């Protein structure tokens, strides 16, 4: 069976035949070009199934993408995700060419805070270390002491050995961290436009309608959603929870593509799917991946001064690990 038919066999459950005719030529060309140019495609768990299963070499949460970016031997990294993820990849591996298929793939959290805001916070709370979520610009990372992701936020905060930290920009993630540590968290008012839409009532209703269902939420969700859930964790922790526990029915309280992507590897699990789309993640398409790999455009560039300082924060997080 040809490589492309093997891919379709795997994803036919979530991609109808009529759509496959449209995707297949792109997948074939991208995979050929990837080999020719010694490129690697790192994709976030929220990418669509044709990207996640069709062209990604690694599909993972933002922490794993950063760690993989540091390790790769490829000459080119194509980051299928949002801009801060591509910037983080560049910080982790400055000598590689890092491309993003759409420069406008932003993030509501990353745009909720600037370097100037962080400087202002540091003036207000002198001596209090700044932990910034990777969902921030390189400029914000440069003003921070250390980065974290949702996979290691509590561990990073506790690694500092202090009694107070400034934790930015996600207010709800800050709230989640505060529930899991004695360190006092000073937070910012950023939110994720995808996760803030879920409500505790919605989750409780779904539980009532689906006895025995397991509900797992991303920590960017509001606190009432997390307390109405059975488990909270990063996107990869959510994937692992499903793999390991094989619940009969599950609700992933997060971005839509996650359920489709992992449905394939978990055929016996029924996914209940009220989910929200991330318009930024959805800016990435097969056509744009092919274009940017072919022309090697949309390259991530970070000025030396910011890059050197931002890299320290990301590297410190990488050293702490998951």
Question: Does 133 interact with ligand SF4 (rule: CB under 6 A)?
Answer: no
Question: Does 151 interact with ligand SF4 (rule: CB under 6 A)?
Answer: no
Closest CB to ligand SF4 among residues 109, 154: 109
Closest CB to ligand 13P among residues 234, 257: 234
Q: How far apart are CA 1 and CA 223, in angstroms?
A: 49
Terminal CA-to-CA distance of the chain, rounded, Å?
39
Closest CB to ligand 13P among residues 62, 229: 62
Question: Does 4 interact with ligand SF4 (rule: CB under 6 A)?
Answer: no
In terms of DSSP H, where are the helices of the chain? 3-11, 17-36, 49-52, 62-71, 83-92, 115-124, 138-142, 153-159, 171-179, 200-209, 223-227, 235-245, 257-263, 286-295, 304-320
Question: Does 252 interact with ligand SF4 (rule: CB under 6 A)?
Answer: no
Q: Using CB distances below 5 to 8 A depending on partner kind, what does residue 51 bind out of ligand SF4, ligand 13P, none?
A: none
Q: Which of 160, 165, 256, 176 is nearest to 220 (CA)?
A: 176
Q: How far is the CB of 20 from ligand SF4 (least distance, A)?
A: 26
Question: Does 100 interact with ligand SF4 (rule: CB under 6 A)?
Answer: no
Q: Which stretch binds ligand SF4 (CB under 6 A): 11-19, 48-56, 67-75, 276-284?
A: 276-284
Q: Using CB distances below 5 to 8 A depending on partner kind, what does residue 259 bind out of ligand 13P, ligand SF4, none?
A: none
167 CB contacts (<8 Å, ≥6 apart)? 131, 133, 153, 157, 173, 174, 177, 185, 186, 187, 188
Q: Using CB distances below 5 to 8 A depending on partner kind, what does residue 280 bind out of ligand SF4, ligand 13P, none?
A: ligand SF4
Q: How far apart are CA 194 and CA 15, in angstroms?
A: 23
Using the rule CB under 6 A, which residue among 280, 285, 314, 317 binds ligand SF4?
280
Q: How many residues bind ligand SF4 (CB under 6 A)?
A: 13
Cα Rg of the chain, angstroms? 20
Q: How far is the CB of 176 from ligand 13P (least distance, A)?
A: 12
Q: How far is the CB of 298 from ligand SF4 (least distance, A)?
A: 17
Closest CB to ligand 13P among residues 199, 210: 199
Q: How far apart are CA 185 and CA 156, in angstroms?
A: 12
300 CB contacts (<8 Å, ≥6 apart)? 79, 86, 87, 89, 90, 98, 99, 100
Q: Which two tokens stand for residue 220?
A: 């960017």
Which residue ranges make up the site for ligand SF4 (CB under 6 A)? 82, 107-109, 135, 192-194, 220, 255, 278, 280-281
């Amino acid at each position: 069976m040809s490589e492309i038919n093997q891919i379709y066999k795997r994803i036919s459950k979530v991609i109808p035949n009529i759509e496959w005719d449209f995707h297949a030529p792109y997948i074939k060309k991208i995979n050929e070009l990837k080999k020719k140019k010694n490129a690697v495609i790192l994709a976030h768990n929220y990418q669509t199934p044709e990207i996640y299963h069709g062209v990604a070499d690694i599909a993972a949460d933002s922490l794993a993408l950063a760690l993989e970016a540091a390790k790769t031997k490829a000459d080119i990294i194509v980051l299928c995700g949002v801009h801060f993820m591509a910037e983080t990849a560049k910080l982790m591996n400055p000598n590689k060419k890092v491309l993003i298929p759409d420069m406008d793939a932003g993030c509501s959290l990353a745009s909720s805070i600037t370097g100037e805001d962080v400087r202002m916070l540091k003036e207000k709370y002198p001596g209090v270390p700044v932990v910034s979520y990777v969902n921030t610009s390189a400029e914000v990372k440069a003003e921070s002491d250390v980065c974290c992701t949702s996979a290691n936020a509590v561990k990073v905060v506790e690694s500092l050995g202090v009694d107070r930290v400034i934790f930015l920009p996600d207010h709800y993630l800050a709230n989640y961290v505060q529930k899991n540590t004695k360190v006092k968290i000073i937070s910012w008012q950023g939110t994720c436009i995808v996760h803030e839409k879920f409500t505790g009532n919605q989750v409780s209703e779904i539980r009532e309608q689906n006895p025995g269902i397991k509900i797992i939420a991303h920590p960017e969700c509001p606190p009432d959603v997390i307390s109405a859930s059975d488990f909270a964790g990063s996107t990869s922790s959510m994937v692992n929870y499903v793999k390991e526990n094989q619940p009969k029915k599950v609700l992933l309280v997060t971005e839509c593509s996650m359920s489709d992507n992992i449905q394939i590897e978990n055929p016996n699990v029924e996914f209940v799917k009220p989910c929200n789309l991330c318009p930024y993640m959805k800016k990435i398409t097969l056509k744009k991946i092919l274009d940017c790999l072919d022309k090697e455009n949309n390259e991530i560039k970070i000025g030396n001064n910011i890059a050197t300082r931002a890299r320290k924060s990301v590297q410190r997080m990488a050293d702490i690990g998951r």
